[in-house]
């Protein structure tokens, strides 16, 4: 797939001067999308999507031919204190039926199946079964790993024993009849399997084993054949993951590390467990990251592309400086060329194909374009728009997102993105440094409402994928181990100093802001490099590490706690107090804005209150915004608007107005 025209001319656009963009209403950036996460039904007759309805994220279904629109009432009879229940994700499991996962306060609530018109709703797991008491829930499964498209509209799910004895990291495989809500364990975990590989017929045929640092694999030809070990437990670098099966040639596909320590897809020999040549490899980027996989509008930007119609792997989607697709199938490559020709200014990705292959759903998006969905109808020989995600956004008024690289102080190469206000050179600008959350995620090229709001207000925005970010190889991830108050923060500081040295930033007008782990990084930077930053904004930021190990949703999750102890540190062994901002509040001299959701379970509001109290004790009271009915996110449109207005006002008062 070629680079979109908008990316190729981004550098040219960034040095043009004299073109002014109007100051747009904040509501333009905070509004909920009109269409989000659209998916095509298996028969290609309807597409479902998410849209705000009365302040909640609801599922809508539209007929492609008749344009009739309906929405599903999720119901709130089982909820307490008026908590808003919204759709987290969904998928079609037949022409008529969908499986929907719901959330309350950003936390998983349950799963149920329903017809597209809302009829015949059947609870599957979680609290959707109407039982408030967690211990009374019969099942607490979340992940759908296969759809049979059969008469019973059955699916396979993973049971991670969240409400029963067993290990969350060693799941069983369940078959669920969504018409009746009946479940049956079809594969019982022998005790060491952490990943299951399921073929096109819905048969689990590959199990990846893990025992401590040892890994291996078991395999079977079909349901009647006994499991056999093809890779004995051994000390291997990285734990491979099943990717899928190619019915065309009978191959097994897995994700594993190359010699360059980059994750990609390999064929695996079921006879002896040997890996063949990688299907696609890059010396700098992962093709299929091991952990966080970036997405756009809920569509994974890295991973395999299978055709159920052909029962084979047809392509790989991956991310370098921007999203790309490698097609192995000539038919799909041909349709990619057709779409790219019609949409030369966007990155265009295949979302869905009907089971008969007659209709295809595509998404076209860019850094300045939030995206639009399009339909190819092969029978009618048509290519048409089904709707824009945010049709009020004009790409010409948005700022380009430029890929940058800089060297950290220890020589490690760090990638990032620089967004410059439209009409200005990347020279002597007020800059907002914006480290991402996680820390085991990454920023990716694409439209970001908050970044675009800041650019529209005249600020450049610098985002960096510091060590620990995914997509750049295993060593970048390993370099971040127990470095939350060390080298990760050095990378963020080095990004700031790079912006100054490169002449991008006015050294007297730099702010730092972030959310979640990015909020922690903001407070850390303000305390350890007070000379660099005029002000800072922490949204849902961690302020006291030992306390969050004791009071948060992570504290109640044994697997998550184990991972945190390995990657962040063990509060009983490692010194997490000295790197907690509440314990160096006296070093923070710049103005601070703290934004916190009152219903946040990941970073409870007690974290924000501790920080405010610590700053007040020094005589420097921060500004704060506490939001009811908001969890570990921006909340609904009304709350998001309030947050964005608060951010814009704070920056204008403390960083100064942006460029005109």
Q: For residues 342-370, give the mean pLDDT.
A: 97
CA angle, 441 as apex, 546 and 364 as ends, to 5°? 150
Q: Are 359 and 375 in contact (CB under 8 A)?
A: yes
Distance CA 505, CA 130 (A): 55
* Percent of residues, the chain, with pLDDT higher than 70: 94
| Distances in whole angstroms, Cα of residue 11 to Cα of each of 2, 142, 505 | 17, 44, 17
Per-residue pLDDT tens over the stretch 27-47: 999 999 999 999 999 999 999
Q: For residues 157-185, give the mean pLDDT.
A: 92
H or E element in which residue 640 lies: helix 637-654
Distance CA 423, CA 151 (A): 58
Per-residue pLDDT tens over the stretch 209-245: 999 889 999 999 999 999 999 999 998 878 899 999 9
Residue 72 pLDDT grade (very low, low, confident, very high; cuts 50, 70, 90): confident
Q: Are 401 and 419 in contact (CB under 8 A)?
A: yes
Distance CA 399, CA 401 (A): 7
pLDDT of residue 134: 47
Per-residue pLDDT tens over the stretch 284-299: 999 999 889 999 999 9
Distance CA 593, CA 526 (A): 12
Q: Are 463 and 417 in contact (CB under 8 A)?
A: yes
Q: Is the pLDDT of residue 7 over 60?
A: no
Tokens describing residue 206: 């590959």
pLDDT of residue 85: 83
Who's near 26: CB < 8 A, 6+ residues apart? 453, 641, 644, 645, 648
| Residue 566 DSSP one-character state | H
Tokens describing residue 288: 């299929």
Order across the sheet with 193-198: list the strands. Answer: 193-198, 204-211, 214-219, 228-235
Residue 55 pLDDT grade (very low, low, confident, very high; cuts 50, 70, 90): confident
pLDDT of residue 309: 93
Reduced to 3 states, what is the DSSP secondary structure of residue 91?
A: strand
Per-residue pLDDT tens over the stretch 478-504: 999 999 999 999 999 999 999 999 999
In sign, the C-alpha dihedral spanning 341, 343, 349, 352 is negative
pLDDT of residue 212: 86
Residue 14 pLDDT grade (very low, low, confident, very high; cuts 50, 70, 90): very low
Q: Is the pLDDT of residue 82 over 70?
A: no
In sign, the C-alpha dihedral spanning 193, 199, 203, 206 is negative
- Through-space distance between the first and last CA atoms of the chain, rounded to whole angstroms: 37
* 130 or 317, which is more confident: 317
pLDDT of residue 656: 96
Distance CA 524, CA 580 (A): 8
Residue 99 pLDDT grade (very low, low, confident, very high; cuts 50, 70, 90): very high
pLDDT of residue 79: 58
Q: Is the pLDDT of residue 363 over 90?
A: yes
Residue 20 pLDDT grade (very low, low, confident, very high; cuts 50, 70, 90): low
Write the CATH number of the domain with boundaries 400-654: 3.40.50.1820
Q: How many CA atoms lie within 13 A of 634 on its CB side?
A: 19
Q: Is the pLDDT of residue 509 over 90?
A: yes
* β partners of residue 195: 208
Who's near 383: CB < 8 A, 6+ residues apart? 338, 339, 342, 374, 375, 376, 377
| Distances in whole angstroms, Cα of residue 148 to Cα of each of 50, 95, 104, 201 | 24, 12, 29, 7
Q: Is the pLDDT of residue 18 over 50?
A: no
pLDDT of residue 19: 59
Distance CA 24, CA 39 (A): 31
Question: Mean pLDDT for the chain?
Answer: 92
pLDDT of residue 119: 92
Distance CA 10, CA 63 (A): 38
Express the helix, strand and coil content of the chain in percent, nearest 5 each. 20, 35, 45
Q: At what angle do helices 487-501 and 517-528 cross, to 10 degrees?
A: 70
pLDDT of residue 81: 60
pLDDT of residue 13: 45
**What phi and psi, each to the nearest 5 degrees, are found at residue 457?**
-90, 5
Who's near 276: CB < 8 A, 6+ residues apart? 266, 267, 268, 269
Who's near 151: CB < 8 A, 6+ residues apart? none
Order across the sheet with 36-40: list the strands. Answer: 36-40, 46-53, 56-63, 69-71
Q: For residues 422-428, give the mean pLDDT.
A: 96
What is the domain partition of the chain in residue ranges? 400-654
User: For 517-603, where are the E strands, in sequence order?
Assistant: 535-539, 592-597
Per-residue pLDDT tens over the stretch 551-592: 887 777 777 888 889 899 998 999 999 999 999 999 999 999
pLDDT of residue 639: 93
| Residue 269 DSSP one-character state | -
| Distances in whole angstroms, Cα of residue 594 to Cα of each of 165, 233, 316, 540, 582 | 40, 48, 41, 8, 13
pLDDT of residue 492: 98
Distance CA 96, CA 109 (A): 23
């Amino acid at each position: 797939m070629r680079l979109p025209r908008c990316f190729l001319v981004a550098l040219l656009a960034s040095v043009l001067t004299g073109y002014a963009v109007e100051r747009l209403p904040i509501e333009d950036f905070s509004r909920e999308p009109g269409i989000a996460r659209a998916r095509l039904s298996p028969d290609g007759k309807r597409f479902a999507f998410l849209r705000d309805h009365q302040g909640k994220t609801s599922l809508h279904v539209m007929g492609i031919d008749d344009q009739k629109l309906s929405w599903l009432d999720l119901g709130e009879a089982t909820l307490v204190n008026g908590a808003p229940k919204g759709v987290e994700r969904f998928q079609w499991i037949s022409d008529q039926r969908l499986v929907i996962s719901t959330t309350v306060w950003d936390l998983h609530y349950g799963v149920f199946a329903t017809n597209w018109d809302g009829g015949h709703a059947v609870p599957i797991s979680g609290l959707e079964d109407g039982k408030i008491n967690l211990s009374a829930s019969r099942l607490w499964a979340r992940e759908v790993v296969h759809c049979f498209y059969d008469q019973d509209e059955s699916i396979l799910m993973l049971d991670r024993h969240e409400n029963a004895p067993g290990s969350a990291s060693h799941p069983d495989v369940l078959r669920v009849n969504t018409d009746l809500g009946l479940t049956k364990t079809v594969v019982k975990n022998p005790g060491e399997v952490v990943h299951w590989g399921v073929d096109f017929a819905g048969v689990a045929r590959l199990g990846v084993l893990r025992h401590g640092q040892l890994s291996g694999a078991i395999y079977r030809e079909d349901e009647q054949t006994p499991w056999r070990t093809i890779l004995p437990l051994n000390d291997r670098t990285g734990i491979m993951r099943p990717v899928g099966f190619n019915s065309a040639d009978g191959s097994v596909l897995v994700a594993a590390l190359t010699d360059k320590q980059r994750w990609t897809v390999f064929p695996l020999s079921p006879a002896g467990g040997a890996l063949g040549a990688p299907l696609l490899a890059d010396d700098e980027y992962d093709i299929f990251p091991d952990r966080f996989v970036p997405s756009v509008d809920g569509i994974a930007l890295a991973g395999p592309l299978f055709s159920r119609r052909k029962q084979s792997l047809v392509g790989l989607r991956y991310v370098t400086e921007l999203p790309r697709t490698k097609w192995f199938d000539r038919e799909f490559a041909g349709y990619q060329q057709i779409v790219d020709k019609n949409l030369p200014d966007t990155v265009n990705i295949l979302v869905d194909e009907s089971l008969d292959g007659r209709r295809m759903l595509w998404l076209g998006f860019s850094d300045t374009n939030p995206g639009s969905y399009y339909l190819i109808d092969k029978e009618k020989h048509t290519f048409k728009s089904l709707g824009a995600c945010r049709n009020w956004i004009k790409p010409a008024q948005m700022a380009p997102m430029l890929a940058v690289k800089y060297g950290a102080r220890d020589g490690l190469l760090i990638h990032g993105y620089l967004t410059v206000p439209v009409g200005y050179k990347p020279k002597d600008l007020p800059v907002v440094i914006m480290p991402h959350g996680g820390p085991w995620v990454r920023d990716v090229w694409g439209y970001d409402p908050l970044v675009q709001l800041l650019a529209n207000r005249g600020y450049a925005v610098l985002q960096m994928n510091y060590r620990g970010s995914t997509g750049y190889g295993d060593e970048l991830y390993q370099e971040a181990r127990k470095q939350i108050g060390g080298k990760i923060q050095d990378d963020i500081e080095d990004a700031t100093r790079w912006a100054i040295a490169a002449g991008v930033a006015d050294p007297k007008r730099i702010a730092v802001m972030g959310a979640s782990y990015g909020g922690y990084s903001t407070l850390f930077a303000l305390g350890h490099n007070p000379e660099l930053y005029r002000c800072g904004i922490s949204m849902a930021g961690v302020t006291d590490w030992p306390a969050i190990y004791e009071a948060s949703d992570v504290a109640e999750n044994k697997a998550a706690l184990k991972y945190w102890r390995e990657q962040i540190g063990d509060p009983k062994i490692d010194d997490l107090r000295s790197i907690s901002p509440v314990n160096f509040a006296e070093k923070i001299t710049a103005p601070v804005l703290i934004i916190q959701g009152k219903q946040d379970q990941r970073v409870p509001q007690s974290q924000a209150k501790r920080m405010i109290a610590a700053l007040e004790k020094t005589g420097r009271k921060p500004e704060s915004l506490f939001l009811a009915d908001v969890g570990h996110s921006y909340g609904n449109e009304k709350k998001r608007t309030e947050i964005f207005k608060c951010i814009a006002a704070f920056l204008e008062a403390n960083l100064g107005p942006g460029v005109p």
